[in-house]
Each structure stands twice: as C-alpha cells, then as structure tokens.
Structure 1
C-alpha cells in the first residue's frame, strides 16, 4: 500500500507539477469565476516557477543531503558492494530490448572500477521494478547484463530483484546476503539519497558504510549558482523535495529512526 501511495503522492507533491496545476487553476478562475483573482493566481504561478527554475533553490535543498555522508575510509576490503537501483529506465529498456540508463547511471558505472579495486568483494545489486503504470524488465536483469559487460565475473554478482523502494532494498538485501557482524559492506547510491538509504539499512540491523556517487552539485560553491534554464532548475528542485519528503515520511512511518541520519 505504501508503494502505491508514495507513487501517487510523489506526482502531486512535485513542485513543478504543483506550480503548473496552480497556473491551470488560475486560468480556470480567470475564465469562469474572477478575472482579477485568476490573473493573480496565474502571476503567482509564473513567479514561483521562475524562482524555482532559475534561482539556486534546488542546490540549497540538495547540498545538505549530498554532504551528509563522506566515503568510507581506507582499511579492510569490503565483503561486498551493495548498489541500489534507480540507474535504469526499465520501461524504455523493456520496450527497446536494450540497457537504458538514467541520470543516476554512476551508481553502476563506478562499480566497474570498484570491482577491480576489491577483486574479492561480492557485487550485490538491489532493484526490481518501481514502475506503477507500465510494465518493463527488472533493474536486476539489466544490472547483470551491464556488470558482465564491464568484465565482472558472474559468480561475484548477487541479484535482489523484488524491491520497489529503499525500505525493501534494505530488507531484502539483508535477508539475501546474511551479513556477518565483522564484515564491512559498502553501500553505493546517489549522494543525495545516502542519508535515507543508510537509515533504512540501520533499521534492518545491517550496518553499512557509505560510498556516495552521482553528485549533482559541486558542494557549498553552488549555494549561489543559478540555473541557465527553468527546466534544469525545476528538475533539481523536484529531486531535492522528493528526497526530503521521503526522509520525513520514512521517519514518521518508522522506516528510519531519525529525520536526517548522520554518519
């Protein structure tokens, strides 16, 4: 139930969708109710779209998440690398019969170097199909194809293909690999997603160490950096707001113990 509710809510809580909806409401009000009130609502919609799309707002929201977890320190090689799904477009891949990557592709592409760096570590990919309306292949199927094309031996690859969200990533992966208390396990996911992901694994009594990838900002330098297009800025705001809403909702539902997990 949470999976379906989260997909529906994520659409309506997306700032870009909300602001467009506000503009449509203003247009309808202008046509049928009050031209003055409707024009005010439409003006507010355009103004907010401009602020969200061109100002550094998206960076301001994303930087605290990206900077939260540094990469794991040197030491004992990890027993395994856990890569979370989100790097594949399963709908396009299913329709085209090919591997289709998203902007989070670095979750997978960096594993090629990490697999060579730690040749004895298991490579665990966790991801099923997170689509609600369209059928596609599972991310695990695509990950297996891509990892083998990188030269990773198939006997090192462990696939978890049932999970649809971060909570299930943690739960199903723990059940699959049964980590020993003395083992190091590195979690590979987008830097902005790392706090929520680590929090979920901790709640499953699976202590993982962060290996963030897929940085979207340069760090504090981007606090004042505006965007050159409204579309790029809105996309950044949507990603950041979705992650913050995810963190708060996971905390309220008991999936993570604190609103913003820390190292």
Structure 2
C-alpha cells in the first residue's frame, strides 16, 4: 500500500501529470484536433500558472501557520520531534550520506529550540529507497554539525503517518505527551493532525516558510522554484484529503 501511494502520487501530482496529459493530447491531435488542442492548452497553461508566486502563495495560504512557536508553547512542551525530510545521498563533498536541504532546515531550527528549552530531541524517519535512514543522518548532523543532543532515534517509519505512529510509541513509554513538532511550515497542517491522532498534544515549530521578494517585476515572472513549491502544496492538499478519507 505504501509503495502504491508513492507511485500514484508521483504520477498524479503536477508537473508530471500535466506533462503526461499534454503528451496524450499531442498524440490525439490528428484524430480529434479541436479537443486535443483544448487539452494541450489547458495542461500547459496550468503548468505555467503554477510557476508564478502569487499562485504559490494562494496554495500555501492555509497550509502555513500564521505564527511561529511562542515562548508559552515552548514552556508547555516535554520534547522536540523532528520529521525527516529526505537524505542527500552520497554527498561527494562529505564522502557519505547527509541531511538534504529540507532536513537541514529542520535540524538547525530544532537545535536552536533545544538550546532555548533544554528539551530532549526525537528524530524520526526511515529509509524508503535503501541506504542510511533520515533519522540516522539527522542524528549525525545534530551531534557533529550543531553540537546538539538526540535522545531517541526512530528509523523505521517511511511516511508522516508512520512517523507519528512509531514516535508516539517511544514518547509514551517515556511518559511524554506534549511535543514541539518541527518541520517545514507547509508540512505541519497535515503532520500535526497525524500526531494528534496518536493522542499527543502538538505545538508546531514551523521553519522554512515560503517567502520571496514582493516587487511587481518579480511577481510577474515565472520561477522554477515557484513551480516546485506549488507542486509541493498540491501534494500536501492531496495528502490531507487522503488522510480525511482513511483516518476519519
């Protein structure tokens, strides 16, 4: 089931789905030219629209929290949980696997929170495609790069739902029920609900907000990063929909 979800999401989420639709329309253009042209314009037009930051902002509007973690929330938490965001595999400059960009943002912020709160850290994330787990690379980065401390390593989970399930088991054994959950701002709406489903009280620790210059020229130009973040937002909304269907 897990790998089926991976395959379906890879093909259903833009830009791949829109490119596939455009290719199909191109193949049909001789047989049904009018319909094929409309489909082609729709798919390529939507791909272009998703490349503008105002569209990205609209898709991210309800995903990202409207505030950062407060001191009051920090004081109530018992532990910090960092969600794995992927591994930089065979990093040539380091000679081994290490955290990727998204995971690095999470690790850096979590260690900053640990210095403020002195709370223990749990890292969670397995290995989907083989190699070192996200949790192991996070542990190495926290201890060697940032001089932080990791209390628990959960390295069996393959997605956010399993992050929540397996992490909750470790935390509840330790008597911990209130956590700061650290991830990208756009990931936390869905992740928070999954951890709350495991009967944990969750204070979100968002990092890596989607931001950009606000000049009219910048906003009027398409950007590959805007397309990437728009597609990430659509992936999150699809995940939220699936969770509502199967978890409620």
TM-score range normalised by the length of the shorter chain: 0.7 to 0.9
Residue of structure 1 aligned with 2:55, choices 51, 54, 57: 57
Matched, 1:151 2:150: no
For structure 2, the 5+ residue unaligned runs are: none
With normalisation by structure 2, the TM-score equals 0.85
Shift of the alpha carbon at 1:123? 0.9
Matched, 1:168 2:167: no
Report if aligned partners of 2:106, 2:183 keep a CA contact under 8 Å in 1.
yes
Q: Relative to total residues, which structure has the larger strand share, 1 or 2?
A: 2
Report if aligned partners of 2:87, 2:98 keep a CA contact under 8 Å in 1.
yes
Q: Report the equivalent of 1:76.
A: 75
1 CA distance for matches of 2:199 and 2:91? 34
Q: Which has the higher contact order (CA 8 A, sep 6+)?
A: 1
1:38-68 CA-to-partner distances (Å, cap 9, x unmatched) read 3343333322222121362221011211026
- Secondary structure of the structure 1 residue equivalent to 2:132: coil
For structure 1, the 5+ residue unaligned runs are: 258-263
1 CA distance for matches of 2:87 and 2:16? 23
- Size of the alignment, in residue pairs? 242
Shift of the alpha carbon at 1:115? 2.1
Report if aligned partners of 1:88, 1:105 keep a CA contact under 8 Å in 2.
no
Please report the RMSD computed on the Cα atoms of aligned residues, expressed in angstroms. 2.8
2 CA distance for matches of 1:84 and 1:69? 19
Q: Report the equivalent of 2:236.
A: 243
1 CA distance for matches of 2:59 and 2:231? 10
- Secondary structure of the structure 2 residue equivalent to 1:248: helix
- Secondary structure of the structure 2 residue equivalent to 1:208: strand
Alignment of 1:1-40 (within 5 A): 1=1, 3-30=2-29, 33-40=31-38
Shift of the alpha carbon at 1:118? 2.2
- Secondary structure of the structure 2 residue equivalent to 1:188: strand
Report if aligned partners of 1:81, 1:186 keep a CA contact under 8 Å in 2.
yes
Matched, 1:193 2:159: no
Residue of structure 1 aligned with 2:136, choices 131, 141, 145: 141
Q: Report the equivalent of 1:97.
A: 96
With normalisation by structure 1, the TM-score equals 0.81
